[in-house]
Structure formats: structure tokens, C-alpha cells
Amino acid sequence: MLKTRLTELLGIKHPIIQAGMGPFSNNNLCVATANAGVLGLLSTAGLFDKEGQPWIYKAFVESGEASMDDDMATVLEKILKRTYRLTKDKGGIFGINVMVSTEVLDKSKILLETAIRVREENPAMKEHFKVIFTSAGDPVPWRDAIKGAGFTWLHVVPSVKGALRCKKAGVDCVVASGHEGGFHIAWEPLHTMVLLPAVIDAIADANYPVVGAGGFCDGKTLAAAIAMGAAGVQIGTRFLATQESDFHPLWKEQVVKTEDRGTIVARGIVGPARWLKTPSSVIHLRNTVVKSPGVFTGVPDDWTTVPLELIDYERKGIEAVCTGDRENAMMAGGECAQRVNDLPPVQELVDRIMNEATEIVRNMHKNLAI
């Protein structure tokens, strides 16, 4: 067992966060990871567009014990109550991941208000539903609501500047996410090996937990993060490829099939995104070069300037996954997909990661020539 500032802050057994991957539902994955002793995060991005992406909304409804007639807030409430019911006996700790980017602020407000209300109305949930994790936007406007409700607050950042803003805002733990991560990534291609130690050095507070994200998938990478001074890691793509993962079998299969240099960067809904390399995603890359060059030059655009056909192409690519259309499917994933070669149960994967990391940390001195 590896105890760190992250395990102490959240009351989890292992210093691992299961990424709140969207837009697809991960309601079952969150339960499995929380019960395995890591922080499980519920995705919420797929609840943003019931009319435009009903195939994703349907996945949330079916796995969350909700109804297609329910609105976004009601679906989230039912998912939260289900998750609590399925994790409380094993002491699982979970939270929600909410994107707070400009494009979706109205939806983010509804989700955060719902989460706060549901926990207040069900006080027993507070021992398990502990975390709100925000991403893809400015944390400062959310400080009073999240902190005032008593949640532990985590926010993901792509830069030192962002990390320092989080600490000033009162965020309890910063997640430094490198460019090798899956799906939504930063406009600037700063990778984990540079970003994570830079954030740790800039925070300069041994009691303030910093977590690494982007490229972490096993005990080796967890041990490396701890060696750099991190309190733990966030893992997405590796958890996507597990038996309990809600993601469509096509998506999981593509992660396992991905080989060396098997990912690309192209436009996503809220900026640059990392995709698994498929014929459809390669076409999307070529279109992005012409229609959204800021993805590669570091000059952000948004829905007022980017051609909407790029956004529509992404939506159709994800719809193809949900309908089993392999030819047109587009699936996001991190660079570490090339290191994923099986679909284990979540508990087996967590045990594997922790056993490997503990062994490496315990025997690190053996790598030294003394």
C-alpha cells in the first residue's frame, strides 16, 4: 500500500484517480473503480445534449437507472443515488467531473447545482460522494458554490499558470495534465515529463497534493510520478479498456489494437483532442489542418470562429461508435493506448498497478550503481 497526500485527502486506498471520461457514460466503471479503492469519477459531458446526441444520453439513462423522459438534472440525481447505493458497503469514494468551458457554462451550472442539492438532501452520501472535479475552464467562478457545499475540489490544468490560479482559488488538489492524454488536451503541446515537475516546483508546498495525468497506465508510471513528487496519478485510457467499462466494445477493442504512434491530434468540441488513429480520425485531422489550424499553432478558436462541420464530424464519428459503425467510428484515447494489450476486470488492474508500483518504489535503490 502506498499512502500519499492524495489518499489522505480523499480517504481512498490507492493514489489513483479514474478519469471522468466523456462524452460516453461511465456509470458502471465509476462504481467498479471506487469499490477497488481509487477515486471514481462520473462523467457528465454526455448529459449536455439530449436532442443532438440522444445515443449518448440513452447510454447514461440505461446505466444510471433513469428514463429518457428525464431532464439532465433528474438523470444526474438518479445516477448519483445509484452510485452511492452501489459503493457505500465497500467504502467507495466517488465524485463528478464537470467541464466548465465557455461553450457549456449554462449546462455546467445545472449539473453543479444538482450535485450540491442531492448531497445536501442525502447527508449519508457525504462520506462517499466527496469530490467535484472541474476541467476545461476557469475554476475561480465556481469557488463559492463548491467550497461552500463542503466538497473536496479538484481541477485539471495544462500549465503552471493554471495551477497557481487553482491554488489561489482554493482548489484542494491540482491535476497537471500533459499533452499525451486522451480526448480534450491543451492548446499548447506541453507533455507530462515537463509539466508535472514544473507544477510541483511552482506550488512549492509539500502539503499541497499535485496529481499527474496524461500517459499514466501502470505501476511503472505511477512510481515515476511519485518519484517526481506527485501525490498520485489520474488514469483514463487504461481504465476505459476494462471489463466493467461502459464504453462501446468497438472503443475498447480499438484501444487494445492501438500500436506504436497510434494516436493523432485533431479538433474536439472544446479545442484540441487526441484520437486513436483510424481512417475516420485521419480524415478529421486533415480537415482540422485546413479549418482549425489553431489546434497546431496554439491559437485558440471557439464555436464562433471554427467551421461547425468539424464539430459535426466529431459528433457523427462518436455516433458511429455507439451504433457499431466501425468504418466511420472515431474514438478518443491517450498515447498510452499503445501500452494497453488486454481487457482485465477493474480490481485485477488496480491490484496489478499497485503491486508493480510498490515493488518499484521498494526496490528503486537496486537500480543504482553504488
What is the domain partition of the chain in residue ranges?
5-247+340-367, 251-335
Look at residue 364 in the predicted model and tell me its pLDDT. 84
Look at residue 283 in the predicted model and tell me its pLDDT. 97
Lowest-confidence pick of 62-66, 111-115, 300-304, 313-317: 300-304
Which segments within the chain are labelled E, that is strand? Answer: 16-18, 40-42, 94-99, 129-135, 152-157, 173-177, 183-184, 210-213, 232-235, 263-268, 271-276
What percentage of the chain exceeds 70 in pLDDT?
99
Q: Give pLDDT tens digits for 247-306.
A: 999 999 999 999 999 999 999 988 899 999 999 999 999 999 999 999 999 888 887 888
Q: Yes or no: say if 175 and 211 are a contact pair by the CB < 8 Å rule.
A: yes
Q: Give pLDDT tens digits for 167-198.
A: 988 999 999 999 999 998 999 999 999 999 99
Q: Yes or no: say if 43 and 26 are a contact pair by the CB < 8 Å rule.
A: yes
Look at residue 47 in the predicted model and tell me its pLDDT. 85
Mean pLDDT of 213-224: 97
Give the up-direction half-sphere exposure of residue 283: CA atoms within 13 A in the CB hemisphere.
13
Look at residue 53 in the predicted model and tell me its pLDDT. 81
- Quick one: CA dihedral 286, 290, 296, 298, positive or negative? negative
In the DSSP assignment, the letter for residue 293 is T
Give CA 214 to chain center in angstroms. 10
User: The whole model's pTM is what?
Assistant: 0.95
Look at residue 45 in the predicted model and tell me its pLDDT. 84
Closest to 119 in 3D by CA, of 90, 152, 151: 151
- Quick one: CA dihedral 164, 147, 20, 22, positive or negative? negative
Domain 5-247+340-367: give its CATH architecture.
Alpha-Beta Barrel (3.20)
Environment class of 303 (CB within 10 Å of its CB; exposed 0-12, middle 13-18, buried 19+): exposed
Distance CA 315, CA 49 (A): 11
188-221 exposure pattern, b = at least 16 Cβ within 10 A, e = fewer: eebebeebbbebbebbeeeebbbbbbbbbbbbeb
Distance CA 86, CA 101 (A): 31
Look at residue 137 in the predicted model and tell me its pLDDT. 76
